[in-house]
Chain A
Amino acid sequence: MQTDKTRYWLLAAPALAVMIVFYIWPLVNIWAISMTEPALGFGNYVKMTESQAVQTSFVITFRVAALTTVICVLLGYICAYSITNVIRSARPLLIAMVLLPFWVSVLIRSFAWIVLLGRSGLVNDAMRDIGLIDAPMRLMHNEFGVVLAMVHVMLPFAVLPMMANMRGIDRAYTEAARGLGASEFTAFRMVYLPQTLPGVASGALLVFVLSLGFYITPALLGGGRVLMVSEYITYQIQEFLNWGLGTAISVALLVATALVLIVAARFVNLRSALLERS
């Protein structure tokens, strides 16, 4: 007779099989390629650490991801706060507006930004027509455009965990604080804000980790000038057929992301930050 445990394993088996065949196995292969192509050993990793371009790419990636995270958390906090606490009646509509971008492909949203930010895009044309500028401003193919578009894509990932957290906070706490002599702002700072930090942490972590490996938006808005790691890997493999170096960098990115999570785990309860989103 089967125990309950084996029956549950059997239920999970199809999904597990797909993961192993199409995800874990290729991943292992990538590790293998990075150690064997073109020659056995750590040659690719040595090359990687010596390459100025790779280092620059990593620095750009972390900088863009950090900037995106900070902006997303700030804007998302205000957004989540308003939806949860201020505008009660319009809440379903506002939540729908936060979720709406999820239903539009990232590719389409990125092209939309190009239409807006290009040399003769809507923004530049409009400002020139009004007479605010003489020559078109450079709004994309730089970090400004990349971060702007990434914030747009990542914002829901910041808003949703923070909103879930804020919904669980009883209004009674801030009322109590005010009843005991705290001004509105002091009550927010000393009583409300500390209770929302777990939500902030999980939102920030989610955005940061997703941003580290982001490809489409930086590739389109960066126009090859803001070379983030995932795009750099694509170049190595597609353009230069340099599988060895490409896979080595991808392993490095994976390790870097894992390190971020390990460091974060010291400060944040990862379990509640990433898994439980009630």
Chain B
Amino acid sequence: MTDAILSIRNALKTYGETNALDHVDLDVAEGEFLTLLGPSGSGKTTLLTAVAGFTQLTAGTVSMRGANITSLPPEKRGFGMVFQGYALFPTMTVGQNVGFPLKVRGVGKAEIRDRVKECLDLVQMAAFADRMPSQLSGGQQQRVALARALSFRPQVLLLDEPLSALDKKLRADLQWELKALHEKLGVTFIYVTHDQEEALSMSDRIVILSGGKIQQAGDPETLYNRPRTGFVANFLGKSNFADAKVLAHLPGAAACDLGGAAVEIDSPAPPPVGTTARVALRPERIVLGAAGGPGVPGRVAQISYLGERAQLIVETDTLGPLLVSRPTWKAGIHPERDLPVTLTWDRDACVFLEEA
């Protein structure tokens, strides 16, 4: 990649027997909002701290615009950082916190004052410059931490689960703000989270990690619609899984045997004829129909009402229990327990998975 601002090559980090990072290669494009997504222990935080300089890699390199920065200490790398739990300095005012990165860089007093004001304006916290961090709410502290990380105009901003301590509603608001800020400033964001919704809503590109390896990287839509492995299909949203026997290749699709029924599954490169492959099927792609119609017959086993949507577990004879997500406003049948139904889906709803 030519426009990569950051390149990670063959990054390996071992703690005793375990590989926290297992030969990771990653390029970060200039100006993109990249999210490292994964469960705890997946290596996402290790990867971020290796980029930041807090973690020394066992092997591999990190380079910025072609320059190797693998062995530079954190302060020489010039990244802005927002920490989990904010880490606002308790002995300094909000203004002094925001001015800190400038002060340690020897910027003059007058300029610090202007830039602090500018950055606090950016996050709508200008009125709080003389407060102490302990006097602020969680959301306000988060905004100050962001202003502090941006005050020296870094080219790359590293964010380590910055919203995880906030309640759900505030988190949603701040997601919009972060996204807007990213677009306004054009700074490259590298964002670590375990929250898939957060990742989907903000990122240009998501990198899904598990067991220290990159499972899949891509834009949110591709990842969601075309997961490559079962892990990705189940970590990003929910999925049903089934085994499909490939009977024949068609143009851009494959004819398959799915639980005894002959179906066609769209795929640019389906697995070889005669093999059995795992397919993923999103709950919201399954359409509930009256019993007796064409499709997979089943019986509603459980219903969970979630407001705009309802989730059902439909017990089928051929494919076992399937999770179905259905808008509650949808007319037609009204699902209730033990109701016999028929399940159908479009031919592009199933996705072939690679063996994980």
A→B interface (CB under 8 Å):
170, 172-173, 175-184, 186-187, 190-191, 194-195
Contact B91 A194 (CB under 8 A): yes
B89 at interface, CB cutoff 8 A? yes
B101 at interface, CB cutoff 8 A? yes
Q: Which of B50-107 contact A (CB under 8 A)?
A: 52-54, 73-75, 78-81, 83, 85, 87, 89-92, 100-101, 103-105
From residue B338, how far is it (CB to closest CB) to chain A in Å?
54
Contact B89 A181 (CB under 8 A): no
Contact A182 B87 (CB under 8 A): no
**A175: contacting residue among B79, B83, B152, CB under 8 A:** B83
CB contacts (< 8 Å) of B85 on chain A: these are 170, 172
From residue A23, how far is it (CB to closest CB) to chain B in Å?
40
With both beta carbons as reference points, the residue of chain A lying nearest to B89 in the complex is identified as A191
Report the Cα distance A259→B85, complex, angstroms: 42
From residue A199, how far is it (CB to closest CB) to chain B in Å?
13
**A181: contacting residue among B75, B83, B91, B92, CB under 8 A:** B75
From residue A113, how far is it (CB to closest CB) to chain B in Å?
39
Contact B87 A181 (CB under 8 A): no
Report the Cα distance A184→B73, complex, angstroms: 9
With both beta carbons as reference points, the residue of chain B lying nearest to A171 in the complex is identified as B87
Contact B100 A190 (CB under 8 A): yes
Contact A180 B149 (CB under 8 A): yes
CB contacts (< 8 Å) of A180 on chain B: these are 75, 80-81, 100-101, 104, 148-149, 152
From residue A89, how far is it (CB to closest CB) to chain B in Å?
16
CB contacts (< 8 Å) of A178 on chain B: these are 54, 73-75
Contact A181 B52 (CB under 8 A): no
CB contacts (< 8 Å) of A170 on chain B: these are 85, 87
CB contacts (< 8 Å) of A172 on chain B: these are 83, 85, 87
Report the Cα distance A183→B72, complex, angstroms: 12
Q: What are the 10 closest A-B residue pairs judged by CB atoms, nearest first?
A: A176-B87, A179-B81, A194-B91, A180-B101, A172-B87, A182-B104, A178-B74, A181-B101, A178-B75, A181-B104
Contact A175 B87 (CB under 8 A): yes
CB contacts (< 8 Å) of B100 on chain A: these are 177, 180, 182, 190
**B89: contacting residue among A173, A179, A184, A186, CB under 8 A:** A173
CB contacts (< 8 Å) of B75 on chain A: these are 178-184, 187
Contact A181 B73 (CB under 8 A): no
With both beta carbons as reference points, the residue of chain A lying nearest to B148 in the complex is identified as A180
Q: How many A-B residue pairs have CB under 8 A?
A: 67
**A190: contacting residue among B73, B78, B104, B105, CB under 8 A:** B104
Contact B81 A176 (CB under 8 A): yes
From residue A180, how far is it (CB to closest CB) to chain B in Å?
4
With both beta carbons as reference points, the residue of chain B lying nearest to A176 in the complex is identified as B87
Report the Cα distance A186→B106, complex, angstroms: 12
Report the Cα distance A258→B244, complex, angstroms: 86
A170-B87, A173-B89, A190-B100 given as contacts; is B148 within 8 A of A179 (CB)? no
Can you show 19 pairs from A to B with CB atoms below 8 A apart?
A170-B87, A173-B87, A173-B89, A175-B54, A176-B81, A177-B100, A178-B54, A179-B52, A179-B75, A179-B79, A179-B83, A179-B158, A180-B75, A181-B105, A182-B104, A183-B73, A184-B75, A191-B91, A194-B92
Report the Cα distance A186→B75, complex, angstroms: 10
CB contacts (< 8 Å) of B149 on chain A: these are 180
CB contacts (< 8 Å) of B90 on chain A: these are 173, 195
Contact A177 B89 (CB under 8 A): yes
CB contacts (< 8 Å) of B91 on chain A: these are 191, 194-195
13 further interface pairs, Cβ-Cβ under 8 Å (given A173-B87, A183-B75, A191-B91):
A172-B87, A176-B81, A176-B89, A177-B100, A177-B104, A178-B73, A178-B74, A179-B74, A180-B80, A180-B81, A181-B152, A183-B73, A183-B104
Report the Cα distance A180→B148, complex, angstroms: 8
With both beta carbons as reference points, the residue of chain A lying nearest to B54 in the complex is identified as A175
**B104: contacting residue among A175, A186, A195, CB under 8 A:** A186
Identify the interface centre among B80, B100, B103: most chain A CB within 10 Å of its CB.
Answer: B100
Contact B104 A179 (CB under 8 A): no
With both beta carbons as reference points, the residue of chain A lying nearest to B91 in the complex is identified as A194
With both beta carbons as reference points, the residue of chain A lying nearest to B96 in the complex is identified as A190
CB contacts (< 8 Å) of A173 on chain B: these are 87, 89-90
CB contacts (< 8 Å) of A187 on chain B: these are 75
With both beta carbons as reference points, the residue of chain A lying nearest to B80 in the complex is identified as A180
CB contacts (< 8 Å) of A184 on chain B: these are 73, 75
Contact A176 B104 (CB under 8 A): no
From residue B132, how far is it (CB to closest CB) to chain A in Å?
12
Contact A179 B54 (CB under 8 A): yes
Report the Cα distance A108→B164, complex, angstroms: 57
Report the Cα distance A176→B97, complex, angstroms: 11
Report the Cα distance A76→B81, complex, angstroms: 33
CB contacts (< 8 Å) of B78 on chain A: these are 181
CB contacts (< 8 Å) of B87 on chain A: these are 170, 172-173, 175-176
Identify the interface centre among A175, A180, A182: most chain B CB within 10 Å of its CB.
Answer: A180
CB contacts (< 8 Å) of A191 on chain B: these are 89, 91
From residue A168, how far is it (CB to closest CB) to chain B in Å?
11
CB contacts (< 8 Å) of B158 on chain A: these are 179
From residue A128, how far is it (CB to closest CB) to chain B in Å?
49
Report the Cα distance A172→B89, complex, angstroms: 10
Contact B152 A176 (CB under 8 A): no
From residue A162, how far is it (CB to closest CB) to chain B in Å?
16
From residue A201, how far is it (CB to closest CB) to chain B in Å?
13
CB contacts (< 8 Å) of B83 on chain A: these are 172, 175-176, 179
With both beta carbons as reference points, the residue of chain B lying nearest to A186 in the complex is identified as B104
CB contacts (< 8 Å) of B104 on chain A: these are 177, 180-183, 186, 190
CB contacts (< 8 Å) of B92 on chain A: these are 194
From residue A6, how far is it (CB to closest CB) to chain B in Å?
38
From residue B191, how far is it (CB to closest CB) to chain A in Å?
15
Report the Cα distance A178→B78, complex, angstroms: 10
